[in-house]
Amino acid sequence: MAPRYWLETLGCPKNQVDSDKLAGLLESQGYGPARRAEQADLVVVNTCAFIEAAREESIGTVLELAATKKQGAKLVVTGCMAERYGAELAAALPEVDRVAGFGVPVDFGPTRLVSSAPATRRPIPSFDLLNLPRPPARAPWAYVKVAEGCDRHCGFCAIPSFRGPQRSRTASDILAEVDALGAAEVVLVAQDLVSWGRDVTGGASARLPEVGLVPLFHEVSKRVDRVRLLYLYPSGLSQELIEAVGSSGCPYFDLSLQHVSRPLLRRMRRFGDGERFLGKISSIRQSFPDAALRSSFIIGYPGETEEDHDALLRFLEEAQLDWVGFFAFSKEEGTYAAGLPDQVPSSLVVERTKECSELQDAITARKRAGLVGTTCQVLVDAPGTARSHREAPEIDGVIHVPRDLEAGSWVQTRIVEAEGPDLVGAPVAA
């Protein structure tokens, strides 16, 4: 019987892409997927290290799987935690058989740890996860990662320290992966999506009529029915990109804003302010009234005042975003923000986060209720679950539909009920 593997993925969609590629590699090496972790001969945990809460979840998951794996099974830790804390992690977790940073095979080998150099000095590994072939999509939708790393220096973010500088994939590689996936919806992701191709001008965009994300978006749109973009840095949201997304049939804008207070954003080493952001949101809605907008905000960044917090509350009320995520500031070793004065007490961060969440939950519920009686085209993800252009997979609400609708089908649907962030839909008779 072929050996079996189990892959546990934590963190962001970019990690899910890495896991899909690792799964394809393992299957090409003769492994088969296990139905449960307890049945696997090889258990792999793809970890997240973005903030403290993510690291705690990763460690908890590793320990849980170590306790439940079958006798003789091998346990491998990979992903961002393995890359960022390799030696420390291997020493702290004797239960783990291998700590594998980026570019290190996860199938069990003779050593427990392959140490990593700082990201800025690390050569591209011979085992290149970014360009590893990928098996066909198992769902009607799929993430496609178009670049790795980031050249920006946001004050709160440690990602460039372990993911390295931006490294864009070529257009031909991206389009070949889109074709191979066979998905009805493709979600393009990267640490800094709007900067795709800038690190290799003339290289990444080869075989496109023009350079940049917009022509890539158009080319992907020719291949699949729906294309979605996640993590759009506001300074890169050009009118050309707005027009391309808005007129594509999936007018969904995920804007990486982080805050609205101009002084605090400068302290974050970020662009913009609330007034500019509101102007951009208003412009999008004037051109595309059916557009859905998402963003995320950091609460409790060092130096955040009551005035800053009140400005964010006013912004949320005025912007009326469809979806918002709030994250408590996490003091990350080696970042600019880690050494800043005026750290906000954790109790105050909790209070401010609760206030923002309660306000936004009410806004989202009202906006969702306002959709009752409207019609939209949905993609059926699985029996009983579908999404329109307004819902990104895994992070937004869903539309509950009859379970007899086939996964992967497109169905014209009337919204008949709202249940908080979720909706209930009924197929429109032909």
In this predicted model, what pLDDT tens digit does every residue of 197-227 receive, in sequence order?
A: 988 755 555 555 556 899 999 999 999 999 9
- For residue 49, the model assigns a pLDDT of 85
Q: What is the mean pLDDT of residues 86-108?
A: 84
CA distance 310 to 17: 38
Q: What band does 285 get if pLDDT is binned at 50, 70 and 90?
A: very high
Which of 83, 139, 140 shows the shortest CA–CA distance to 115?
83
Hey, what amino acid is at 62?
A: V
CA distance 109 to 100: 10
- For residue 178, the model assigns a pLDDT of 97
Tell whether the model's pLDDT for residue 121 goes beyond 70: no
CA distance 141 to 381: 8
Which of 293, 255, 171, 253 shows the shortest CA–CA distance to 220?
171
**Range with the lowest mean pLDDT among 69-83, 318-332, 367-381?**
69-83
Q: If DSSP codes are grouped into helix, strand and coil, which group holds residue 160? A: helix
Q: Report residue 47: phi and psi, to 5°.
A: -90, 165
Q: How many CB atoms lie within 10 A of CB 109?
A: 14
Hey, what amino acid is at 149?
A: G
Query: Do the Cβ atoms of 106 and 76 come closer than 8 Å?
Result: yes
- For residue 100, the model assigns a pLDDT of 86
Q: Report residue 199: phi and psi, to 5°.
A: -75, -20
CA distance 404 to 381: 12
CA distance 417 to 404: 19
What's 413's DSSP letter? E
- For residue 109, the model assigns a pLDDT of 42
**Range with the lowest mean pLDDT among 192-206, 248-262, 370-384, 412-426?**
192-206
Q: Which of 72-81, 166-175, 405-414 shows the highest mean pLDDT?
A: 405-414
Q: What is the mean pLDDT of residues 377-406?
A: 98
Tokens of 122: 């690390």
CA distance 204 to 197: 5
Q: Report residue 66: phi and psi, to 5°.
A: -65, -35
Residue reference for tokens 């670049």: 147
- For residue 404, the model assigns a pLDDT of 97
Task: List, in sequence order, the alpha helices (H) in 69-120.
Answer: 80-84, 86-92
Q: What band does 265 get if pLDDT is binned at 50, 70 and 90?
A: very high
Distances (CA, A) of 109 to 8, 31, 70, 106, 370: 19, 15, 19, 8, 56
CA angle at residue 243 from 240 to 248, to 5 degrees?
130
CA angle at residue 192 from 189 to 197, to 5 degrees?
90
Longest pairwise C-alpha distance within the chain: 64
